[in-house]
Amino acid sequence: MGEFFVVRLMVPSAGGRGRAIAFGGRGLNPDAKPKYNNTGETALFSKGTQLYNFATARGAAIKAGTIILAEGYMDVIALVRAGFAGRRPPGRASQGSGPDVCCMGSGPGSAQAATTKSRRSHCSWSSSVN
C-alpha cells in the first residue's frame, strides 16, 4: 500500500459539499503501470457516481446553461485551464429549456468508449480529441 501513490501527480476528488473524499494519482513516468491509480470504493466514494469538480463547476454550469462532461480528471483540469469554466463552448446555443450537455473525450481506448456510452444517454452534442 505504501507504493500505491508513489511518483504520481495526486489529484483530490471532492464530494458534492466540496470536501475531499478520494484521490487519483497519474503516473509521472511514461512507463507507469497503471497509468492512473484511484482510491478504492468506499461509503463516500464510488467512481461510477462521482463527477470530478462537480462542487466547483455547479454554479458555473448553471450560469452558462451548459454542462461539459469530460472522461477524466486530467481532461477536466485542461478544460478549466483553457477557460471553459463558466462559459458556453464556442458556436453552441442551448437546445431547449434544460442545460446543454457536451461530452468530451480524448484518445482511443477506454476514454473513447466512455464518451461514446455517455453520448447515447446524456449528451446534446459531443466532441473527441485525439
Per residue in 82-112, pLDDT (tens digit) is 887 655 555 445 555 567 777 776 666 655 5
Residue ranges in the chain whose pLDDT is less than 50:
1, 91-92, 129-130
Q: Helix, strand or coil for residue 94?
A: coil
d(CA 53, CA 45) in angstroms, rounded, equals 14
Look up the pTM and report it.
Answer: 0.68
CB distance 112 to 127 below 8 Å: no
What residue ranges do the domains of the chain occupy?
A: 8-38, 54-129
> What are the beta bridge partners of residue 24?
11, 38
Provide the grid cell at 122. Answer: 446524456
Provide the grid cell at 59. Answer: 454554479
Using the structure block, give the residue that is written with the C-alpha cell 489529484. Answer: 11
Beta strands in the chain (DSSP E): 8-14, 20-27, 36-38, 66-70, 100-106, 125-129
